[in-house]
A = this chain, B = another copy of it.
């Protein structure tokens, strides 16, 4: 089985964006109280909307996508916590419905109703709802709800601990994933995303978060940002700072996906980072949508790069399936339930 740990619902029906546009327009009306209205989206519309993902799964030979709301649209910096909550609930509910329609193809991961300056504890209820009521298996945690101004404390600060306690209790991991950038310095998918990955890794490296939470699991997407390419730098910095070796630091707690869009990058990742800490992911349909003229294949068809790598069979199985089952343990029950319901 090949599980893609990193898919966003970038093809949702237009009605979702209509609601969002209404939210944003209402912010300009003095004294307006944020309101949530139902979305008029049918199951048929949902089915039609994920045909691109289903076709890519078939064409590329992957089985299941861990599916979460569009990351760049989370935009936690827009409006306040109420606006963010309404928006997150709608986005998560659509993910739930897609997963319910295609239980063999999608498993849900939730967006959180974060908001700049608002304690992360206020995101616990939505996490709990998504995991216990909607069957989600993890969440996307934004280390910078300000959208490129980086005003929140580092992820290793105790301000985040109440949320980590709930993650541990529910046994769900978080993918560390920023959203759109409202800082003109940072292109969202080209700079802000990758910077956030690198930043989070360095935060984890310099603090004892995983001593406090030995079972807390964080996925750093986009191949770990700059980290594998600069692995020697990070090994050296850890050494200079009398920190444990990197492989010990990350072993049970920090994982990278394979969202790196060329063979040489994937080869480096698979060569340098222990296979136990890599999860297959493609970010499909996402940041880069074109076909690479050098290969004739989609840039984000990352399975091809892993297939063409020097990775051995046992390690390949870890990357494609076993590690995901380990990092997102709730996926196992979800898959059993899907098989049972559909008749395996």
Contact = CB atoms under 8 A, between A and B. Distances in A.
Interface of A: 143-144, 148-150, 152-154, 157, 183-187, 189-191, 194-195, 198-199, 201-203, 205-206, 222-223, 225-226, 228-237, 239-240, 260-262, 264-265, 267-268, 271-272, 287-290, 292, 299-300
Contact of A186 (B152, B199, B231, B232): B199
Nearest to A157: B184
A143 B185 contact: yes
A287 B287 CA distance: 32
A159 to B, nearest CB: 11
Contacts of A267: 268
Nearest to A199: B191
B260 A230 contact: yes
Given A185-B144, A198-B194, A289-B240, A230 B222 contact: yes
A268 B199 contact: no
Contact of A265 (B152, B186, B230): B230
Which residue, A154, A185, A194, A287, has most C-beta atoms of chain B within 10 A? Answer: A185
Contacts of A190: 198, 202, 205-206, 233-234, 237
A203 B185 contact: yes
Contacts of A233: 189-190, 194, 222, 260-262, 287-288, 299
Nearest to A272: B264
Which residue, A229, A261, A265, has most C-beta atoms of chain B within 10 A? Answer: A229
A231 B262 contact: yes
A185 B232 contact: no
Contacts of A288: 232-233, 236-237, 240
Nearest to A298: B236
Contacts of A184: 153-154, 157
Contacts of A143: 185
A229 B268 contact: yes
A185 B229 contact: no
Given A185-B199, A191-B198, A268-B265, A290 B240 contact: yes
Contacts of A183: 150
Which residue, A206, A222, A237, has most C-beta atoms of chain B within 10 A? Answer: A237
B229 A154 contact: no
Given A194-B226, A206-B187, A260 B234 contact: no
Contact of A150 (B157, B186, B231, B264): B186
A235 B206 contact: no
Contacts of A292: 232, 235-236
A289 B242 CA distance: 12
A239 B287 CA distance: 12
28 contacts: A149-B149, A150-B150, A150-B183, A153-B185, A154-B184, A186-B199, A187-B202, A190-B202, A191-B198, A191-B201, A191-B203, A194-B198, A194-B230, A222-B233, A226-B226, A229-B268, A230-B261, A232-B260, A232-B265, A232-B299, A233-B261, A233-B299, A236-B261, A236-B289, A237-B287, A237-B288, A262-B272, A267-B268
